[in-house]
Amino acid sequence: MSEHVTHWIGGRAHEGPAGRTGDIYNPASGQVTGTVDLAGPDEVGAAVAAAAAAFPGWRDTSLSRRVQTLFRFRELLRANSDRLAALVSAEHGKVLSDARGEVARGLEVVDFACGIPHLLKGGYSENVSTGVDSYSILQPLGVVSGITPFNFPAMVPMWMFPVAIACGNTFVLKPSEKDPSASLLLAELWAEAGLPDGVFNVVHGDREAVDALLEHPDVAAVSFVGSTPIAGYVYRTAAEHGKRVQALGGAKNHMVVLPDADLDLAADSAVSAGFGSAGERCMAISAVAVVESVADDLLERIRERVARLRVGPGDDDRSEMGPLVTREHRDRVASYLESGVREGATLAVDGRIHPVLGGAPEGFWLGPSVLDHVGPRMSCYREEIFGPVLSMVRVGDYDEAVRLVNDNPYGNGTAIFTNDGGAARRFQNEIEVGMVGINVPVPVPMAYYSFGGWKQSLFGDSHAHGTEGVHFYTRTKTVTARWTDPGKRPEGGVNLGFPTNG
Ligand code: NAD
């Protein structure tokens, strides 16, 4: 055991409850490297109380001071980004370059949040009626909470808390218990940046902690990112308890390849987007819907590239793909290779026999696999695999590809590969998916746009960060005001009619 990870409440470490802990693994060695406290209602209650106590002071802190704190946090984050990436890689397993990319994308949301004074400007209308002005102001909600998944332990929390805190809210983060350490470094950096105690808190835990947050009367809003079944549960439970909620769920992202596409670009993209982070990305390409006439050619190009992929520990510079997050998850992902073949697919590349460079045999390894001739009824197509398995679905033409994507219950990301601008334009219009790439396989929006899917990939109506994030973390108040000169009262006296403007 190398570490014990505990909560961060009111600006300091907070342990408990006694005897309820989870193991933290190094996925490349398969060994337990630490333990994490799993909060119950008492720890969650303490975190919410600390956030509630900090709220009045933070809400009333001037925008200039809030922004100065954000800028200091941004600089500390930049200075510590390698440290943060190393923590992510050690507990998640992803390679260091990928972990650095995750930190960089989170940092972009902090950059965005530094512009909060502009984003919080309301509107003002002079003389909506004679001598009457009307204006709107955006106010924070209070204590807001973020519940996040294992696959981006730094970036996904940073989709949420920089914007929430910039808007004047206080925050309770419940990160994934599988890779909890990144969130504590973020908490320490906030403290060093001068954020008042209690504005940012972290409670670790599992369902018990989540339920305590969802039911707590002093939590005003919940942002969730994770799998679809849990997103649906969080959405319903939080709404039932009167909270504002956005819950981003799972994905099954299709890459459509038309016959006129640049097939080398398509093959590079399918391999990068399918196997980056071992396929444990909600924007990973999972299904390649390729028009039959170019399917064999594309498969050959993908196969060549996959054979050259270097799989190994995340902290080894040679590695391009690391292990999976847990043994159970690795076994579950591998089971789709068997069920796929049983249900009629062809195993074109078998990741179970891919060489692993320098990894311990007990590590949670599974190399990149490709299933060909996958059909929409197979479980490897219907279910989210969330691992390094690319499914090739052969289609007759563009229309069949679009039907396939639109019939799929998920709608997170998709991409089309073509050199036909008209087809691409039609695709962006017709496709029922929240984030669309055109010759771009992982179309993750920049921080100043919003991130979110459609259908079963998002419950609620606001996406993360961008102006939708500001909208989610604020509520609008509209003031109608009359100031008259002393002694110059408006005429009319008592009038029980509905107010009209004039
Ligand atoms: P998960 O749903 O298992 O866990 C997410 C969070 O919910 C964690 O904090 C976890 O502790 C908590 N949780 C787990 N089980 C729970 C339960 N029964 N009740 C209450 N809370 C529970 O997801 P994961 O395995 O950590 O992450 C992978 C999933 O997240 C994939 O489905 C992936 O597509 C999805 N994801 C989606 C996006 C997106 O933007 N749409 C981004 C990243 C990941």
Question: What pLDDT was estimated at residue 1?
Answer: 38
Atom of ligand 1 nearest to the CA of 464: 40
Q: Whose CA is nearest to atom 40 of ligand 1?
A: 248
Distance from CA of residue 485 to its chain's centroid?
53
CA 23, CA 353: separation in Å to the nearest integer? 29
Report DSSP letters for 352-375, one per residue. Answer: GGS-BSS--TTS-----EEEES--
Mean pLDDT in runs of 10 for the chain (502 residues)? Answer: 86 96 98 98 98 99 98 98 98 98 98 98 96 97 99 98 98 98 98 98 98 98 98 98 98 98 98 98 98 98 98 97 98 98 98 95 98 98 98 98 98 98 98 98 97 98 97 98 81 81 73
Q: At what angle do helices 181-193 and 155-166 cross, to 10 degrees?
A: 30
Ligand 1 center from residue 300 Cα (angstroms): 34
d(CA 214, CA 238): 5
Q: Can you give the pLDDT at residue 480? A: 97
User: In whole angstroms, what is the distance from residue 446 CA to residue 109 CA?
Assistant: 8
Q: What pLDDT is recorded for position 493? A: 81
Domains observed in the chain:
3-249+457-479 (3.40.605.10), 253-438 (3.40.309.10)
Q: Closest residue (by CA) to atom 43 of ligand 1? A: 282
Q: What is the pLDDT of residue 487?
A: 75
The two most distant CA atoms of the chain are separated, in Å, by: 90
Which residues are marked as active site?
282
Ligand 1 centroid, distance to 173 Cα (angstroms): 14
Strand partners, 157: none
Question: How far is Cα 162 from Cα 191, in angstroms, rounded to an integer?
Answer: 14
What does pTM read for this prediction? 0.98
Q: What is the DSSP letter of 169?
A: -
Beta bridge partners of 253: 285
18 Cβ contact partners less than 8 Å away, ≥ 6 residues apart: none
pLDDT at 140: 98
